[in-house]
Structures are given as structure tokens and as C-alpha cells.
Amino acid sequence: MSYVDEVIEQVIVKYPDQPEFHQAVREVLNTIRVVIEADEEKFRKDALLERLVTPEREIKFRVSWVDDKGQVQVNNGYRVQFNSAIGPYKGGLRLHPSVNIGILKFLGFEQIFKNSLTGLPIGGGKGGSDFDPKGKSDREVMAFCQAFMTELYKYIGQDTDVPAGDIGTGAREIGYMFGQYKRLTTSYEGVLTGKGLSFGGSLARTEATGYGLIYITDEMLRCHGQSMAGKTIVVSGAGNVATYAIQKAQSLGAKVVTCSDSTGWIYDPDGIDVELLKDIKEVRRARLTEYKNARPNAEYHEGRGVWQIKCDIALPCATQNELHLDDAKQLVANGCYAVCEGANMPTTEDATQYLQDNGVIFIPGKAANAGGVATSALEMSQNSERLSWTFEEVDAKLKAIMENIYHNIDDTAKKYGMEGNYIAGANIAGFEKVLNAMTAQGIV
Ligand code: NDP
Ligand code: 2IT
């Protein structure tokens, strides 16, 4: 059996209850096969792939906090410090009831290659908890965040591991966690990114993932002789990534006609009203039914369904495995030109294959959503030099990083004889830098 297949098999046998991690490992290892098989025996002897798929450290801890009724609640907290070959661990904290070690390992593994693609010195990590922020009061969220950080602070630091936001973790949660870190350590340092602007946060970090997704999509379109203007776009999700992707796409002349949350979805033929969406989700923390109440022309549907709407471009921005084979078939039947992933691994394996087989341009999350973590790294730079850059300066750097990622994955795919296969281009380009650093640093 080839070395790549052996390691994929080992991961499945060793961690049978981590299907998302299997999926991420399969996708990466299958596409870096060309690099591995060029020197297979050396890599096997160095256990390079076993080291690549095994986190340097997995931390799991109890989080006890008191709810508004005086009841003690207990959650699991985690941090997966996956790979520090090219820099301190960097990656978000997910707060969602579905969080478990397998999901965090998939996210941490993806983060290694994504962070490498940004060109910035950041390793891969991810963490979070099965805590559900939905329906909790501000005081309950604060109590949770303080209890979570009371354990996590031992393992992180500005030069060690720098967490940030992800699903369920936004500015409010980062603020509470930063306050508790400072209280515990008496150290005012850039230990988290996505901070508020008054305490070390970077301008444009809030917008960065969504804006970055549109910058890379726009560059891809430009290189294919097209542009954003006049395109119809379908977006899933209604959180941080979705909101700012919609905003930037519309500012470039596209019309975004959908968004969704975990209970339902909106079709707005006039184009999503971003200010209304922000008010509902960021201020009122309410459901999308409120959107329909304010926009009589829009439709609200329970459940999932955005992919059935005819579009030129589809941007999945909610969560993993939200775009299935049937959805891919529908997108192809409707003439969809490109799918660019704002979320991490939102497209299932069979759907991805179907889209690629049917000529749909596909930019994987680790390239397409890298603008968030890239801007986090810019926040770290600003914290280190005790300065704040202007919005325009950060935004211009973000745009340049996303354009560079597009050309890097495009060139790499061509170099390996897989022109247009941006999954292979992203995985190989991301991997090569990590491989180089791991090799230079010896067996650690
Ligand atoms: P948010 O929590 O801000 O928003 C998530 C959105 O997705 C919400 O609309 C949420 O609906 C919906 N959603 C979440 N889980 C599910 C689910 N299981 N089924 C259906 N809908 C769901 O998160 P972000 O926008 O920050 O993250 C979205 C995706 O982007 C994730 O995959 C994340 O890992 C990825 N990402 C985020 C980055 C960032 O900087 N924030 C950077 C790069 C990637 P509801 O509110 O009803 O739960
Ligand atoms: O998936 C991701 O890249 C993020 N959630 C952002 C991580 C970060 O450190 O900004």
C-alpha cells in the first residue's frame, strides 16, 4: 500500500469516531500524494505524515460556571495545538453544542495549511467548547468565558498560541476572555485576536474573512475575463463571514439574494439588505424571521434550501458539510459558475467531486477564507509594534494577501499538471512551506 494510503487508513482505524477529521485528512493527503510519492521512502522513515496528522498537543478541560438561576453548568473546553513549524499556534475558538475533539482536529488540521498560504508566520491550532451561547444572557456568556479562560490561559500567550473567533465566538466573547486573561496574568499582550478597537484590536478584522472571500473570488473572475458586477450570488449563513461577504460583493456590483441560519433561510430577490441583517444578527441576536417581517418582498423558508436558487456564484459561509451532492447537482443544473468556500469544509466530498467533474470552479476554504486569520496575523503585528494601522492600510494588505493566495494556488496547480484544480493547488502550496520548516527543524 502506498505511504499516503497507509496513513489515511491508520487515522480512520485509530480515531473511528472522528469522521470530519478523516475527511480533512483524506482531502489533503490525496492531493499532496504527488509530493510524497516523489521521495516516499524518506518520508516514511521520517514518519512525516504521521507527524503531520498528529497534533503536537491536545488539551481538554472542564469548564464550570453558574447560570442565571444559580445552577452550576459544566462544559468541555478544548485547545488543539496542531502544528507550530512555521509560527505560534493560531486559530479560532468555536462555541457550539456540536463541538468535539474530532471537529476541532479537522479545523486545526485545515488551519495549518490555510495559515501557511497566508505567507505569514503562524502555525495551526483550534479550540472551543460545547457551550451554546444561543439564548444565554450577557452575564452567563461572561461567566462561561471567564471560566473557560481560567483554564486556557495556562497554555496560550502572544508567542505561544493566539486564539481568535469562530462560530459562536465574536467580539463580545473575545472581550470577556481577554479581560480574564489579563486579570490572571497581569500581562497586557496580544494573546487573542479579534479584540475590540479600544484594546488592541485591528481595524478591518471584523470584515476580513468575508471581504477576503470576495477579494479572492474577484481575482479569480478577473483572471477568467469576468467580473463581480452583475453576478447573482447565493450565500449561506448569516454570521460574521456571510455578512461581510454579502456587503463586499454588493459593493462590487453583484446581487446577493440569500442568507440562512440554523433554522431557516431568506430569499430576497431585491438583494439582501446588509444593514438590516447586521441589526438582526449583531445587535438584536435574533432569528431570520425578523428579516422577512421588515422586507415584505423577501421569502422566509424553514430548514435548508439556499442552493436551489439559480446563481452564478455560490458562497457557503455557515458550517462544515452544509452543501451536499444533491445541492451540487442543483447548482450545476442551474448553471453555477463557481463555488468559493467561506466556511471551513462546507462542501461534502461527493459534492466537491461532482462540482469539479462538471467544470464548476472551486476554491476551497483554506484558501478562500484565509483573510480572517491573515488579518489576525496583522493584528498580532500591530500589537507587537504597539501601533494601529488605518482601515485602508489593513484592507489593502488583506486584498494583496488574497490575490497572492489565488496566484499561488493557481500556479501550484499548473506546476503539478493539475491546472484549475485549486484544491490540489492550495493543499500542495500550503504543505510545501510546512514540510520545508518541519524538515529543517529535525525530528520534533
Ligand atoms: P458565526 O457564528 O458568526 O455565524 C455562523 C452562521 O452559520 C450563523 O448564521 C449560524 O446560524 C450558521 N450555522 C452555524 N452552525 C450551523 C449548523 N450546524 N447548521 C446550520 N447553520 C449553522 O460564525 P462565522 O461566520 O465566524 O463562521 C462561519 C464559518 O466560517 C465557520 O465554518 C467558520 O469556521 C468559518 N470561518 C470563520 C472565520 C472568522 O474569522 N470568523 C475565518 C475563517 C473561517 P445560527 O446563528 O442559527 O447558529
Ligand atoms: O477558521 C479560521 O480561520 C478562523 N476562525 C479565524 C482564526 C483566526 O485566528 O483569526
Kindly report, residue by residue over 318-349, the tens digit of the pLDDT: 999 999 999 999 999 999 999 999 999 999 99
The predicted pLDDT at position 131 comes to: 98
41 CA to middle of ligand 1, Å?
41
The predicted pLDDT at position 55 comes to: 98
Confidence of residue 17 (pLDDT cuts 50, 70, 90): very high
CA atoms of 75 and 305, how far apart (whole Å): 32
Nearest CA to ligand 1 atom 7: 318
The predicted pLDDT at position 186 comes to: 98
From the CA of 122, give the closest atom in ligand 2: 9
Nearest CA to ligand 1 atom 3: 239
On whether the CB atoms of residues 364 and 175 are closer than 8 A, the answer is no
Please check whether residues 339 and 273 belong to one and the same domain.
yes
Q: Which residue in 200, 216, 225 sits closest to 249, CA to CA?
A: 216
Share of the chain above pLDDT 90, in %: 100
Number of domains in the chain: 2
On whether residue 333 sits in a domain, the answer given is yes
On whether the CB atoms of residues 86 and 117 are closer than 8 A, the answer is no
Could you tell me which residues are beta bridge partners of residue 123? 89
Please check whether residues 62 and 161 belong to one and the same domain.
yes
On whether the CB atoms of residues 90 and 110 are closer than 8 A, the answer is no
Locate the DSSP E strands across 116-257: 123-129, 161-164, 232-236, 255-256
The predicted pLDDT at position 9 comes to: 98
Please check whether residues 225 and 350 belong to one and the same domain.
yes
The enclosing domain of 82 has a CATH number of 3.40.50.10860
Please check whether residues 310 and 169 belong to one and the same domain.
no
List 90, 126, 195, 255, catalytic entry: 126
With cell 471551513, the residue in question is: 344
The reported pTM is 0.98
Sheet with 161-164, strands from edge to edge, namely 57-66, 72-83, 123-129, 89-95, 161-164
User: What is the maximum alpha-carbon separation in the chain?
Assistant: 64
Domain boundary among 334, 368, 402: 368
On whether residue 395 sits in a domain, the answer given is no
Average pLDDT, the chain: 98
CA atoms of 333 and 154, how far apart (whole Å): 52
Please check whether residues 271 and 309 belong to one and the same domain.
yes
Q: Residue 345 belongs to what domain range?
A: 208-368
Ligand nearest to the CA of 368: 1
Mean pLDDT of the 4-23 span: 98
What tens digit of pLDDT does each residue of 101-159 get?
999 999 999 999 999 999 999 999 999 999 999 999 999 999 999 999 999 999 999 99
Please check whether residues 364 and 222 belong to one and the same domain.
yes
On whether the CB atoms of residues 51 and 25 are closer than 8 A, the answer is no
The predicted pLDDT at position 316 comes to: 99
CA atoms of 150 and 144, how far apart (whole Å): 10
On whether residue 118 sits in a domain, the answer given is yes
Is 231 marked active-site?
A: no
Q: Show the ligand 2 pocket: residues with CB < 6 angstroms.
A: 90-92, 111, 114, 164, 166, 193, 344, 372-373, 376
What tens digit of pLDDT does each residue of 352-366 get?
999 999 999 999 999
The CA-CA-CA angle for residues 71, 73, 77, to 5°, reads 165
On whether residue 340 sits in a domain, the answer given is yes
What tens digit of pLDDT does each residue of 158-192 get?
999 999 999 999 999 999 999 999 999 999 999 99
193 CA to middle of ligand 2, Å?
9
Confidence of residue 387 (pLDDT cuts 50, 70, 90): very high
On whether residue 85 sits in a domain, the answer given is yes
Please check whether residues 346 and 218 belong to one and the same domain.
yes
Please check whether residues 297 and 237 belong to one and the same domain.
yes
Could you tell me which residues are beta bridge partners of residue 363? 340
The enclosing domain of 286 has a CATH number of 3.40.50.720
CA atoms of 387 and 396, how far apart (whole Å): 17
Please check whether residues 147 and 217 belong to one and the same domain.
no
Query: Which helix (H) or strand (E) element contains residue 362?
Result: strand 361-363
Nearest CA to ligand 1 atom 40: 372
From the CA of 115, give the closest atom in ligand 2: 3
CA atoms of 93 and 168, how far apart (whole Å): 8
Confidence of residue 31 (pLDDT cuts 50, 70, 90): very high
Please check whether residues 333 and 364 belong to one and the same domain.
yes
Q: Are strands 255-256 and 338-340 parallel, antiparallel or unpaired?
A: unpaired
Share of the chain above pLDDT 70, in %: 100
The predicted pLDDT at position 414 comes to: 98
Please check whether residues 76 and 222 belong to one and the same domain.
no
Domain boundary among 347, 368, 389: 368
Confidence of residue 66 (pLDDT cuts 50, 70, 90): very high
Residue among 107, 319, 321, 340 to mutate when testing ligand 1 (max atoms within 8 A of CB): 319
On whether the CB atoms of residues 115 and 122 are closer than 8 A, the answer is yes
Give the CB-side neighbour count of residue 264, counting CA atoms within 13 A: 14
On whether residue 330 sits in a domain, the answer given is yes
What tens digit of pLDDT does each residue of 143-157 get?
999 999 999 999 999
Nearest CA to ligand 2 atom 10: 373
Please check whether residues 224 and 289 belong to one and the same domain.
yes
Show the cell assigned to 215. 477579494
On whether residue 94 sits in a domain, the answer given is yes
Question: Measured from the CB, is residue 315 less than 6 Å from ligand 1?
Answer: no
Ligand nearest to the CA of 380: 2
On whether residue 288 sits in a domain, the answer given is yes
Domain boundary among 160, 188, 216: 188
261 CA to middle of ligand 1, Å?
9
